[in-house]
């Protein structure tokens, strides 16, 4: 399993990679010490927390396979301009914009890490700052279903 106990941190890093927000990812990967890693993680968590506040929850039907599912979208677009995420039909808006209809592209929100996960990760990078770089590399190697080999 990616992240060796820090899966939600890996998924947050992956979110930033998928949305092409490389700034905090690069700072974490290139950090020489734990303080720079803490600051990069803080920036990622603050951004995700802010996106949660503006997110929508929708029931969607996947254009790819027709299945229906409920998802919290941190970002979405009606014109498929995002270039990433899930594309499909809005079946029902459960939280957020009541008038949203038709096809949207949705970037699902990653789960925020638990306090113990953050504390454990920070303790690990205080011992070995290069551990953060390894998590970034893991996040780059994760492929969504249908991608890669």
Q: Could you identify the residue written with the tokens 């995002």?
A: 82
Q: Look at residue 149 in the predicted model and tell me its pLDDT.
A: 32
pTM for this prediction: 0.86
pLDDT tens for 113-144 read 999 999 999 999 999 999 999 999 999 998 76
**Greater pLDDT, 147 or 110:** 110
Among 3.10.20, 1.10.1470, 1.20.120, 3.40.50, name the CATH number for the domain at 7-52+114-141.
Answer: 1.20.120
Quick one: pLDDT band at residue 59, thresholds 50, 70, 90?
very high
**All structural domains of the chain with their residue ranges:** 7-52+114-141, 56-108
Q: Which two tokens stand for residue 14?
A: 């992956």
Quick one: pLDDT band at residue 46, thresholds 50, 70, 90?
very high
Give buried/exposed letters for 52-71 (b at 16+ CB in 10 A, else e): eeebbebebeeeeeeeeeeb
CA distances from residue 16 to 12, 99, 128 in whole angstroms, order as listed = 7, 28, 23
CA distances from residue 75 to 49, 55, 64, 78, 81 in whole angstroms, order as listed = 12, 7, 19, 11, 11
Dmax over Cα atoms in the chain, in whole Å?
A: 50
CA distance 17 to 75: 14
């Amino acid at each position: 399993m990616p992240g060796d106990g820090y899966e939600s941190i890996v998924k947050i890093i992956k979110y930033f990679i998928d949305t092409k927000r490389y700034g905090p990812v690069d700072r974490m990967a290139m950090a020489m010490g734990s303080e720079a890693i803490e600051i990069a993680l803080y920036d990622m968590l603050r951004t995700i927390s802010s996106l949660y506040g503006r997110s929508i929850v929708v029931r969607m039907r996947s254009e790819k396979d027709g299945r229906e599912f409920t998802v919290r979208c941190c970002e979405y677009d009606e014109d498929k301009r995002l270039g990433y995420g899930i594309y499909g039909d809005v079946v029902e808006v459960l939280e957020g914009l009541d008038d949203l209809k038709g096809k949207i592209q949705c970037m699902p929100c990653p789960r925020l890490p638990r306090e113990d996960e953050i504390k454990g990760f920070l303790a690990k990078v205080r011992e070995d700052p290069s551990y953060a770089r390894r998590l970034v590399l893991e996040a780059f190697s994760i492929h969504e279903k249908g991608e890669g080999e």
